[in-house]
């Protein structure tokens, strides 16, 4: 049975993609797990993660319509322990590394049961975000200062499997999120654990691309349509989902790369942001999501968005 359009489907993207009709998707917009230790990716090994990307990208070759696009939002850097690299890479001198560990935070909380994470942060002289990350294990795997931590760019990890699947790099944009976060602001001359920008890589399935200059207003072309750098504040509240992208991001991609009535896919739909943007822009959508609570969240978001339609 092919997957119904205008629905969020629960399951593994690698399996569900096989059930999407050939040549039916005009645009796919997604942000994969980043392999940075979020709760929904804690059981993934690096090789599994790469394989997930490979399979999802390969799946697109069949279901994108000719001249369709796949736009992937991803941060640049991966950080993971690699015993094969020299230890020297991790040496530091002068140490401005935060000495605060999860155990320190637990001790302060034990001594001061009523403390919020803001109180703990003040008490330990660190930012509230540091406390939050330590507690949620929501941190770059290994940490870039751990001995033998390897950093790797993500662009090639998308480009190579896309090329092998017959999808070609068409464009890329830089999404500038926020000024450096409080706890990334110390002096650093290497990769930041939390960076100020991410990428959007756009791949193209061969076909005749219709470039419709009327798709955006003149102002939109000037402000962002023709620009390589997009300034969009990130979503700071992560109470319901850990890694949402802002609505404006899929909205721009949808307006730029599809027509009203087209179907937009998000195989990692999370809280449903891409589907909501599709509804608002008069497109159809298919959303896939592994985690049942996020499926519910996305379905509710779509229902609300449809309710707000004129």
Ligand X SMILES: C[S@@+](CC[C@H](N)C(=O)[O-])C[C@H]1O[C@@H](n2cnc3c(N)ncnc32)[C@H](O)[C@@H]1O
- As given in the structure block, the two tokens for residue 265 are 């896919």
Q: Contact with ligand X (CB under 6 A): which of 196, 291, 296, 300?
A: 291
Query: Contact between 276 and ligand X (CB under 6 A)?
Result: no
Distance of CA 29 to the CA centre of its chain: 10
Stretch that binds ligand X, among 95-103, 144-152, 192-200, 289-297 (CB under 6 A): 289-297
Query: Contact between 115 and ligand X (CB under 6 A)?
Result: no
- As given in the structure block, the two tokens for residue 231 are 């300034």
- As given in the structure block, the two tokens for residue 99 are 């000495």
Stretch that binds ligand X, among 139-147, 163-171, 267-275, 279-287 (CB under 6 A): 267-275
Q: Contact with ligand X (CB under 6 A): which of 245, 265, 275, 281?
A: 245
- Identify which of 233, 278, 234 has the alpha carbon closest to the alpha carbon of residue 252: 278
Instruction: Kindly state the smallest distance separating residue 98's Cβ from ligand X, in Å.
Output: 26
CB–CB of 34/73 below 8 Å?
no
Query: Contact between 273 and ligand X (CB under 6 A)?
Result: yes
Residue 25: enclosing H or E segment and its boundaries?
A: strand 25-30
Query: Contact between 289 and ligand X (CB under 6 A)?
Result: yes
Instruction: Kindly state the smallest distance separating residue 183's Cβ from ligand X, in Å.
Output: 21
Q: Please, which contacts does 118-126 make with residues 24 or more away whose CB atoms are closer than 8 Å?
A: 124/100, 126/98, 126/100, 126/183
Q: Contact with ligand X (CB under 6 A): which of 24, 130, 263, 271?
A: 271
Query: Contact between 199 and ligand X (CB under 6 A)?
Result: no
Query: Contact between 294 and ligand X (CB under 6 A)?
Result: yes
- As given in the structure block, the two tokens for residue 73 are 């939002």
- Strand runs labelled E in 92-158: 149-153
- Within the chain, residue ranges assigned H as helices are 13-16, 46-63, 102-111, 117-124, 128-136, 155-165, 218-220, 248-257, 273-280, 292-308
Nearer CB in complex with ligand X: 24/73: 73
SS3 for 221? helix
Query: Contact between 288 and ligand X (CB under 6 A)?
Result: yes
Instruction: Kindly state the smallest distance separating residue 75's Cβ from ligand X, in Å.
Output: 10
Stretch that binds ligand X, among 92-100, 167-175, 226-234, 241-249 (CB under 6 A): 241-249
Stretch that binds ligand X, among 18-26, 107-115, 184-192, 237-245 (CB under 6 A): 237-245
Q: Contact with ligand X (CB under 6 A): which of 24, 31, 149, 258?
A: 31
Instruction: Kindly state the smallest distance separating residue 71's Cβ from ligand X, in Å.
Output: 11
Stretch that binds ligand X, among 114-122, 163-171, 277-285, 288-296 (CB under 6 A): 288-296
Pairing of strands 64-74, 77-81: unpaired
DSSP 288: E
Residues in the interface with ligand X (CB under 6 A) total 20
SS3 for 4? coil
Instruction: Kindly state the smallest distance separating residue 145's Cβ from ligand X, in Å.
Output: 25
CB–CB of 53/161 below 8 Å?
yes
Report CA-CA distances (Å) from 184 to 33, 119, 126.
21, 20, 11
* CA torsion angle 201 204 209 215 (round to 10): -30
Query: Contact between 175 and ligand X (CB under 6 A)?
Result: no
Give the footprint of ligand X on this chain (CB under 6 A).
12-14, 31, 33, 40, 52, 241, 243-245, 268, 270-271, 273, 288-291, 294
């Amino acid at each position: 049975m092919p997957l119904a359009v205008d629905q969020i489907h629960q399951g593994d993207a690698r399996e569900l993609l096989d059930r999407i009709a050939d040549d039916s998707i005009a645009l796919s917009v997604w942000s994969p797990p980043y392999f940075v230790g979020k709760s929904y990716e804690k059981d993934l090994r690096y090789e599994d993660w790469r394989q997930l990307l490979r399979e999802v990208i390969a799946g697109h070759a069949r279901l994108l319509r000719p001249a369709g696009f796949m736009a992937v939002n991803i941060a640049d850097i991966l950080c993971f322990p690699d015993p094969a690299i020299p230890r020297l890479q991790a040496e530091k001198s002068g140490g401005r590394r935060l000495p605060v560990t999860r155990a320190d935070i637990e001790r302060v909380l034990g001594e001061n049961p009523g403390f919020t994470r803001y109180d703990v942060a003040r008490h330990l002289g660190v930012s509230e975000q540091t406390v939050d990350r330590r507690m949620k294990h929501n941190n770059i795997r290994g940490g870039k200062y751990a001995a033998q931590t390897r950093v790797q760019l993500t662009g090639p990890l998308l480009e190579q499997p896309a090329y092998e699947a017959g999808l070609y790099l068409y464009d890329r944009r830089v999404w500038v999120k926020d000024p450096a976060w409080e706890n990334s602001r110390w002096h650093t001359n290497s990769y930041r654990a939390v960076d100020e920008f991410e990428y959007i890589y756009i791949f193209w399935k061969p076909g005749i691309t219709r470039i419709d200059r009327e798709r955006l207003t003149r102002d939109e072309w000037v402000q962002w349509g023709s620009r390589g750098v997009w300034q969009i504040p990130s979503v700071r509240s992560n109470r319901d989902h850990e890694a949402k992208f802002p609505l404006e991001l899929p909205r721009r991609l949808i307006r730029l790369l599809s027509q009203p009535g087209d179907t937009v896919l998000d195989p990692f739909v999370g809280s449903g942001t891409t589907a909501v943007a599709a509804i608002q822009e008069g497109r159809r959508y298919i959303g896939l999501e592994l985690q049942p609570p996020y499926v519910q969240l996305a379905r509710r978001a779509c229902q609300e968005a449809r309710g707000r339609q004129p």
